[in-house]
Structure 1
């Protein structure tokens, strides 16, 4: 049976994506029109098949190959080969090592106090400027999330954290600009030169941290660089792994928290329930201990519902290495399989009234009623996000500190419009009035 979809266009699909306002909105439109499985043109992949049915997604869950052309724009960031598309035989042990660090409680606890200091410093700055106008959530919170991952990936040992953050932003602006074919500010050659210098600086910083670890015999399985050294990884792969950790987390946590605060600002009942839970669990303390997070069950439900409505990474992609049966369709080897996270999360068959903000969807009882892959904010299968557990810890910590201290209200007349810029961004930021809780 032929897979339904729009007629092919000479421009390879660029015009259709642009006309929809971005790939994430285009996916929503395609699945609303053609059903749960859609064939469409994707720049960099010729023809792709998008799957928004969580039951059908199960057939793709073991795919362990990413389409190389879609990730080619990241290749210049890596010296040991493009880590995003490494073959399965190399990727599996590398992933196992990353999960042993990123998903482990020892690693989270080791960095939790420093994360708390960074979040508290931002809260202090917001408290000092109370009454001086709205806060731009995404600007401040993505800067915080980048600072947190720099602390994590480099073990808090960067000599100049501000310069590391600035250098990484310089590199991302250049390389993500190529993905979206966005003109860089200023002369192109000059900007490319600055990005190359920033990348060289970041690699040098990582090298110095690696040398310090080796000289001090400080390998630690709860430390990313220490674990890589202990595993015998070569210097280029260590640098690449640190870079990919920073890349994956550079904005996602801050964006997820921003959308959560946006939704709570529009649902004061849910915001009040979060505040009550924080008061009950934390008492007079301004920040949670690591062990407190498991008791903040409603806060976790709110965060999950926010990531359902606004998944920070709006899609993923795999490539079939052999023929794959997908319901009534057969996909030949070499097919790009597209995971439209947003369309999956808005599938009305599994999310009644999907546009509504209902944190109670994530009670254990409600979760048990849904297919396993109905909720995939961190992707799925062997190429899913290794840092998912760490990201949840970071986001819950940030929300707990901020919501214990502040109330967040929408700025009248400020329109919040989602746009896709590698992560699900707001076109003109998310501006909110931040005031201390009584």
Structure 2
């Protein structure tokens, strides 16, 4: 049976993706029109198939090959080969080593202050702006996200973290700007020179940190670089692994927190429940301890529902190495298979009224009713995000710090429009009014200003 989809275009699908506003919205449109399995054109893929049904996704969950042409733009960042597309025999032990650190409670607990300390510093800055001009949440929170992952990946050993962050932003602007054709000021030769200089500086910083670990015999398994050294990875691969960890996490936490605050600003009753839970669990403390996170059950549900509605990474891609049966269809070898996270999360067969913000979808009882792949904000299978647990820990820590101290309301007249920029971004940031909250009187304040 032929897979349904739009008629082929002479431009290879570029125009259709552009007119839809990006690949993520194009996939939403395709699945709304053609059903759960869609064939479409995409530059960099001879044949592309998108699968938005969680039951059918199970047949693709084993795929362990990424389409190399779609990730070519990242190749210059790495010296030991593009880690985003490394062969399965290399990827499996490398992934196992990363998971031993990134997914482990000892690592999260040991480094927890590296998340709450910069989050508290941001809260202090927001306190100075409170009640005045709207704040640009994505700008502030993605800077925070990068600061946290730099501290985590480098073990807090970078002598000039601000310079590291500036250099990484320079590199990201050069490579992601090229991918998404984002205009960057200055002559091209100058931009390329700045990016190369920044990349060389980052590699030098990581090398210094690795050398310090080696000379000090630091082999703590909760430390990323220490675990890589103990695992026998060569210096260049350690450097590339740190770079890819920073790349994967550079915006994820900040974007997830931004969308969560945006949704809470539109739903003050949910924001009030979060505030009450924080007051109950944290008491007079302004920041959580690691052990507090497991008691913040409603905040966790709010974050998960926010990531359903606005998954930071809106899709993943794999490549079949042999023919694959997918329901009524046979997918030939060499096909690019897309996992459209956003379209899966909007599937009304598994998410009634999918556009509504309903954190209670994530109670244990409700979650048990859905197929396991109905919710995939971090992807699926052997190429899913190794840092998923770390990202959730970071996001909950930041949300707890901010929502304990502030109320966030939408800036009047500001329209928030999702667009694709490697992550699910907002076209003109997410601008919100920030005001201090007094623990225990959130409901009274909300009634007073008419926001309930």
Matches of 1:130 and 1:351, distance apart in 2: 37
Look up the match of 1:20. Answer: 20
Is there any run of 5+ residues in structure 1 with no aligned partner, and where?
A: none
Matches of 1:306 and 1:113, distance apart in 2: 25
CA positional deviation for 1:11: 1.1
In the alignment, does 2:261 pair up with 1:264? no
Matches of 1:347 and 1:115, distance apart in 2: 34
Matches of 1:137 and 1:427, distance apart in 2: 12
Matches of 1:181 and 1:283, distance apart in 2: 48
Q: Report if the CA contact (8 A) 2:307-2:377 is conserved.
A: yes
In the alignment, does 2:370 pair up with 1:386? no
Equivalent runs, 1:131-146 vs 2, <5 Å: 131-146=131-146
CA positional deviation for 1:43: 1.3
Look up the match of 1:354. Answer: 354
Equivalent runs, 1:179-328 vs 2, <5 Å: 179-328=179-328
Matches of 1:204 and 1:156, distance apart in 2: 15
Matches of 1:369 and 1:14, distance apart in 2: 39
Matches of 2:132 and 2:363, distance apart in 1: 39
Task: Give CA deviations for 1:114-147 in whole Å, capped at 9, x if unaligned.
Answer: 2111100000011122233111100000000000
Q: Report if the CA contact (8 A) 2:252-2:423 is conserved.
A: yes
The two structures have a TM-score, normalised by structure 1, of: 0.99
Look up the match of 2:120. Answer: 120
CA positional deviation for 1:47: 2.0
Q: Report if the CA contact (8 A) 2:315-2:342 is conserved.
A: yes
Matches of 2:219 and 2:191, distance apart in 1: 37
CA positional deviation for 1:350: 0.2
Task: Classify 1:411/1:183 alpha carbon distance in 2 versus 1 (closer, same or farther; 3 Å).
Answer: closer
Look up the match of 1:101. Answer: 101
Q: Report if the CA contact (8 A) 2:345-2:354 is conserved.
A: yes
Is there any run of 5+ residues in structure 2 with no aligned partner, and where?
A: 439-452
Task: Give CA deviations for 1:402-435 in whole Å, capped at 9, x if unaligned.
Answer: 0000000111110000001100000000000000
Q: Report if the CA contact (8 A) 2:41-2:47 is conserved.
A: yes
Task: Give CA deviations for 1:62-118 in whole Å, capped at 9, x if unaligned.
Answer: 000000000010000000000000000000000000000000011001110121111
In the alignment, does 2:150 pair up with 1:150? yes
Matches of 2:235 and 2:220, distance apart in 1: 17
**Matched residue of 1:353: which SS?**
coil
**Matched residue of 1:41: which SS?**
strand
Q: Report if the CA contact (8 A) 2:114-2:152 is conserved.
A: no
Look up the match of 1:57. Answer: 57
Matches of 2:8 and 2:239, distance apart in 1: 41
Task: Give CA deviations for 1:12-48 in whole Å, capped at 9, x if unaligned.
Answer: 1110000011111101000000000000011111220
Matches of 2:52 and 2:401, distance apart in 1: 35
Equivalent runs, 1:14-53 vs 2, <5 Å: 14-53=14-53
Task: Give CA deviations for 1:171-204 in whole Å, capped at 9, x if unaligned.
Answer: 0111112212334321111101100000000000
Q: Report if the CA contact (8 A) 2:58-2:373 is conserved.
A: yes
Q: Report if the CA contact (8 A) 2:132-2:433 is conserved.
A: no
**Matched residue of 2:317: which SS?**
strand
**Matched residue of 2:429: which SS?**
coil
The two structures have a TM-score, normalised by structure 2, of: 0.96
Matches of 1:376 and 1:147, distance apart in 2: 26
**Matched residue of 1:72: which SS?**
helix
Look up the match of 1:403. Answer: 403
Equivalent runs, 1:405-424 vs 2, <5 Å: 405-424=405-424
Matches of 1:179 and 1:216, distance apart in 2: 40
In the alignment, does 2:4 pair up with 1:4? yes
Flag as ranges the 4+ runs of structure 1 deviating above 6 A. none
**Matched residue of 1:369: which SS?**
coil
Matches of 1:270 and 1:318, distance apart in 2: 37
In the alignment, does 2:345 pair up with 1:345? yes
Matches of 2:277 and 2:117, distance apart in 1: 22
Matches of 2:336 and 2:322, distance apart in 1: 12
RMSD of aligned alpha carbons: 0.7
